């Protein structure tokens, strides 16, 4: 109990200087009148969003004030966000001058931010504003600037829309030929996109250009394409533009019935959308139709409705602008009054604060001492608790680690069983192909290393031995290459394999101009396990013949015949027409070539027969089978 009272007294002493500090901070904020320009701008922006639906004029005034504080904060992101909302608010209020100022300022900020996509959007807004202000040439120039920026973005759809925007501005400026060129450029981009509404808009704009030039007959195919592309889900604004241009084309062609039908459809669309600016065009077209039909009274009626609608739109725009100016004046007056009140309050608080500084300093010192004591006690208490928690957590972590390790082992076992159960034959074949491919690559590397070593070997005997080793490695690599490229990993074409091997060995001795090697094979396929020893054996026989049977460039031939033997066997007959005794002596007992050939024939579980005469002949009888390879030695 005594400890609790002491802690309570210490906390009370600590709270006094803290309360004084917070009081001073609050007074400082009230004296300056601003906790932060950035925060005030954000708060005003949120307040304006809440006023958009019911009180748009007040929302406009709040955004103008928010822009003032955003500029004070020097936060470009915040300034651009306020300007984007402000120009839309100005547009809704009918203040085109305000829209122009906000758009120009937003463009400056986006250029400082160095964001091309945002710059393109701001340029498009500026072009739209100039168009609303009746400056078609300036609007066209800004849309062209936006097009240049969009080209660097790599966005095809946005590029196509930028071409259409430039096309629309050029039509308004009377640049009809250049507008059609922009339409063709948009077609080139649309060819790679699926945007029905964009293509329809392109043909509607082409029709508008032709109608403005007095070519209604040429405009009809464009309108037909646009009508074909548009579906029921198209935007009402695009349908409104299409119906309006169809009515203009029908009037130009003198087809009053079609013109009346299109105007009826346009009236239904306008009734649904409530677009009053488009209703002005509708009333103008109705007036033209009535004059063309000779109904002067009806034409005067539509003219009167058109003038009333213009006056109504103008009055509404002026009312919105006047309300915006009034709201801005009220906000400015309130801000000025608040600033004066803040200054007076700051003066009063400064006078009162000078008398309390001494007592506040003592309270601060007492609070610091109290805080140090409390901090020491609480730190000691928390250290003990943290140590206990750490020990408990370590114990839990060890237990969870053991559990996770056990679960991980079990998951590994399950994954291994699942992998074995899901391993299909095709996956095994793919793995074997990859293995053969990698083995072939490794053997090629070994062959290259041996060849490089042979090039730097001064001794002829050592160089010849290394070259023979390279050929043996190439013979093994050829088998793995064949297996990698074969459709059947268990059997490959023996005749093609031995013919390729023989041709390669002959080329390695540069003997292709005076020695020919032919392979005749009636055995279609052999097991994969026999390929390497059989290939090495044939390779050794070929090297022996090319070394010793055709001295000094002697012309000759080597023949190999492979056929079946004893239903389940293979017979290889090898012969050359070179100097037989020299070749036979080269394969005499005790030589490396003789021992290697004997070892390979035993590897194949076969019987080897050699004979010499007018040439060198070898016959091998082997049993076909899938016996695993054994070490040679």
* β-pair type (607-613, 569-576): unpaired
Please state, in angstroms and rounded to a whole number, the distance separating the CA atoms of residues 288 and 284: 6
Please state, in angstroms and rounded to a whole number, the distance separating the CA atoms of residues 605 and 621: 9
Answer yes or no: do 497 and 617 share one domain.
yes
Task: Decide if pLDDT at 601 tops 60.
Answer: yes
Among residues 589, 598, 591, 557, the alpha carbon closest in space to that of 575 is found at 557
Please state, in angstroms and rounded to a whole number, the distance separating the CA atoms of residues 533 and 476: 9
What CATH number should be reported for the domain holding residue 505? 3.30.565.10
Answer yes or no: do 505 and 587 share one domain.
yes
Please state, rounded to an integer, the average pLDDT across all residues of the chain: 79
Which residues, including other chains, have CB under 8 Å from residue 12's CB and lie 6 or more apart?
none
Task: Decide if pLDDT at 11 tops 50.
Answer: no
Please state, in angstroms and rounded to a whole number, the distance separating the CA atoms of residues 533 and 462: 24
- Condensed to tens digits (0 to 9), the pLDDT of residues 101-157 reads 888 988 999 999 888 999 999 999 889 889 888 899 999 999 999 989 988 888 888
Which pLDDT score, from 0 to 100, does residue 24 have?
A: 42
Last residue of a domain, one of 447, 474, 489: 489
Which pLDDT score, from 0 to 100, does residue 259 have?
A: 85
Answer yes or no: do 485 and 538 share one domain.
no
Whether residue 43 is contained in a domain is answered as no
Task: State CA 506 to chain mean position distance.
Answer: 53
CA atoms within 13 A on the CB side of 523: 26
Which range is least confidently modeled, 50-59, 295-304, 448-457, 520-529?
A: 448-457
Q: Which two tokens stand for residue 42?
A: 């954000």
Q: What is the reported pTM?
A: 0.47
Which pLDDT score, from 0 to 100, does residue 137 have?
A: 92
Which pLDDT score, from 0 to 100, does residue 145 have?
A: 92
| Rg of the chain (C-alpha set) | 47
Q: Which two tokens stand for residue 337?
A: 């009054």
Which pLDDT score, from 0 to 100, does residue 480 have?
A: 65
Region 463-483 average pLDDT: 70
Which pLDDT score, from 0 to 100, does residue 17 have?
A: 43
Domain range for 454 is 426-489
Read off φ and ψ for residue 230, nearest 5 degrees.
-75, 140
Task: Decide if pLDDT at 20 tops 50.
Answer: no
Answer yes or no: do 622 and 560 share one domain.
yes
Return the SS3 of 554: coil
Counting residues of the chain whose pLDDT is more than 70, the rounded percentage is 78
Whether residue 498 is contained in a domain is answered as yes
- The band of 613, judged by pLDDT with boundaries at 50, 70 and 90, is low
Q: Is 381 exposed, middle or buried (0-12, 13-18, 19+ CB in 10 A)?
A: exposed
Answer yes or no: do 382 and 482 share one domain.
no
Residue showing tokens 């056929």? 563
Provide the 8-state DSSP code for 525.
E
- Condensed to tens digits (0 to 9), the pLDDT of residues 68-113 reads 888 888 888 888 988 988 888 888 777 778 888 888 988 999 999 8
How many domains would you assign to the chain?
4
Region 504-511 average pLDDT: 84
Answer yes or no: do 477 and 506 share one domain.
no
Answer yes or no: do 506 and 434 share one domain.
no
* Residue 601 to residues 118, 446, 542, 545, 573, Cα–Cα distance (Å): 79, 25, 15, 18, 13
Task: State CA 222 to chain mean position distance.
Answer: 36
Which pLDDT score, from 0 to 100, does residue 45 have?
A: 86
Task: Decide if pLDDT at 386 tops 70.
Answer: yes
Please state, in angstroms and rounded to a whole number, the distance separating the CA atoms of residues 519 and 51: 94
Whether residue 318 is contained in a domain is answered as no
Whether residue 99 is contained in a domain is answered as no
Which range is least confidently modeled, 389-398, 450-459, 567-576?
A: 450-459
Last residue of a domain, one of 489, 516, 531: 489
Q: What is the dihedral of CA 18, 19, 25, 30, to 10 degrees?
A: 170
Please state, in angstroms and rounded to a whole number, the distance separating the CA atoms of residues 197 and 157: 12
Answer yes or no: do 535 and 473 share one domain.
no
Among residues 28, 45, 34, the alpha carbon closest in space to that of 82 is found at 45
Whether residue 34 is contained in a domain is answered as no
- The band of 518, judged by pLDDT with boundaries at 50, 70 and 90, is very high
Answer yes or no: do 472 and 502 share one domain.
no
Region 258-264 average pLDDT: 86
Whether residue 373 is contained in a domain is answered as yes
Among residues 122, 133, 222, 200, the alpha carbon closest in space to that of 169 is found at 133
Task: State CA 211 to chain mean position distance.
Answer: 43
Last residue of a domain, one of 489, 519, 539: 489
Answer yes or no: do 450 and 465 share one domain.
yes
Please state, in angstroms and rounded to a whole number, the distance separating the CA atoms of residues 581 and 610: 12
* β-pair type (556-565, 515-521): parallel
Answer yes or no: do 557 and 458 share one domain.
no
Whether residue 158 is contained in a domain is answered as no
Whether residue 62 is contained in a domain is answered as no
Which pLDDT score, from 0 to 100, does residue 5 have?
A: 42
Region 50-78 average pLDDT: 85
Better-scored residue on pLDDT, 414 or 626: 414
Q: Which two tokens stand for residue 449?
A: 């290393």
């Amino acid at each position: 109990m005594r400890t609790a009272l002491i802690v309570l007294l210490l906390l009370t002493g600590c709270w006094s200087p803290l309360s004084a500090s917070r009081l001073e901070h609050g007074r400082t904020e009230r004296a300056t009148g601003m906790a932060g320009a950035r925060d005030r701008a954000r708060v005003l922006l949120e307040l304006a969003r809440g006023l958009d639906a019911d009180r748009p004029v007040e929302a406009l005034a709040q955004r103008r004030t928010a822009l003032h504080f955003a500029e004070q904060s020097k936060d470009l992101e915040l300034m651009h966000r306020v300007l984007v909302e402000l120009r839309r608010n100005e547009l809704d209020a009918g203040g085109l001058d305000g829209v122009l100022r906000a758009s120009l300022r937003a463009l400056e900020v986006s250029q400082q931010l160095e964001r091309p996509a945002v710059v393109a959007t701001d340029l498009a807004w500026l072009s739209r504003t100039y168009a609303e202000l009746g400056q078609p040439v300036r609007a066209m120039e800004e849309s062209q600037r936006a097009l240049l920026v969009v080209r660097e973005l790599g966005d095809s759809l946005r590029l196509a829309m930028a071409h259409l925007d430039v096309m629309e501005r050029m039509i308004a400026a009377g640049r009809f030929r250049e507008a059609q060129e922009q339409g063709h450029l948009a077609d080139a981009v649309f060819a790679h996109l699926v945007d029905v509404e964009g293509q329809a808009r392109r043909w509607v704009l082409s029709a508008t250009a032709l109608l403005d030039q007095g070519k209604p007959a040429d405009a009809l195919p464009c309108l037909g394409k646009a009508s074909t592309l548009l579906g029921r889900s198209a935007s009402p604004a695009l349908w409104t533009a299409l119906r309006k241009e169809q009515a203009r084309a029908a009037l130009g062609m003198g087809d009053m019935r079609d013109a009346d039908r299109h105007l009826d459809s346009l009236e239904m669309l306008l009734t649904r959308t409530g677009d009053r600016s488009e209703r002005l065009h509708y009333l103008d077209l109705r007036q033209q139709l009535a004059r063309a039909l000779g109904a002067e009274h009806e034409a005067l009626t539509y003219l009167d409705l058109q003038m009333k609608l213009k006056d109504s739109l103008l009055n509404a725009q002026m009312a919105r602008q006047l309300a915006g100016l009034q709201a801005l004046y009220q906000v400015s007056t309130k801000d000025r009054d608040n600033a004066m009140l803040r200054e007076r309050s700051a003066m009063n608080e400064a006078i009162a604060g000078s008398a309390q500084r001494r007592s506040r300093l003592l309270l601060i010192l007492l609070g610091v001492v109290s805080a140090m004591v409390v901090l020491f006690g609480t730190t000691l208490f928390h250290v003990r608790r943290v140590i206990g928690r750490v020990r408990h957590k370590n114990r839990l972590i060890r237990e969870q680690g053991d559990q996770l390790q056990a679960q991980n082992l079990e998951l590994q076992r399950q994954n291994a069983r699942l992998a074995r159960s899901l391993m299909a034959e095709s996956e095994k074949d793919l793995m074997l192909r990859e293995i053969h491919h990698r083995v072939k690559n490794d053997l090629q590397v070994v062959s290259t290393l041996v060849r490089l070593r042979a090039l730097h070997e001064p001794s002829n005997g050592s160089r010849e031995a290394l070259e023979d080793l390279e050929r043996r490695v190439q013979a093994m690599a050829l088998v793995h290459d064949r297996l990698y490229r074969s459709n059947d990993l268990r059997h490959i074409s023996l005749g093609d394999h031995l013919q390729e091997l023989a041709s390669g060995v002959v080329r390695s001795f540069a003997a292709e101009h005076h020695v020919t090697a032919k392979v005749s094979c009636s055995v279609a396929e052999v097991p994969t396990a026999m390929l390497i020893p059989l290939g090495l054996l044939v390779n050794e026989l070929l090297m022996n013949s090319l070394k010793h049977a055709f001295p000094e460039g002697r012309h000759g031939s080597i023949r190999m015949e492979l056929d079946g033997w004893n239903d389940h066997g293979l017979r290889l007959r090898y012969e050359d027409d070179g100097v037989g005794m020299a070749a036979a002596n080269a394969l005499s007992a005790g030589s490396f070539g003789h021992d290697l050939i004997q070892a390979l024939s035993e590897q194949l579980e076969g019987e080897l027969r050699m004979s010499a005469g007018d040439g060198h002949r070898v016959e091998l009888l082997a049993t076909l089978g899938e016996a695993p390879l054994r070490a040679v030695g």
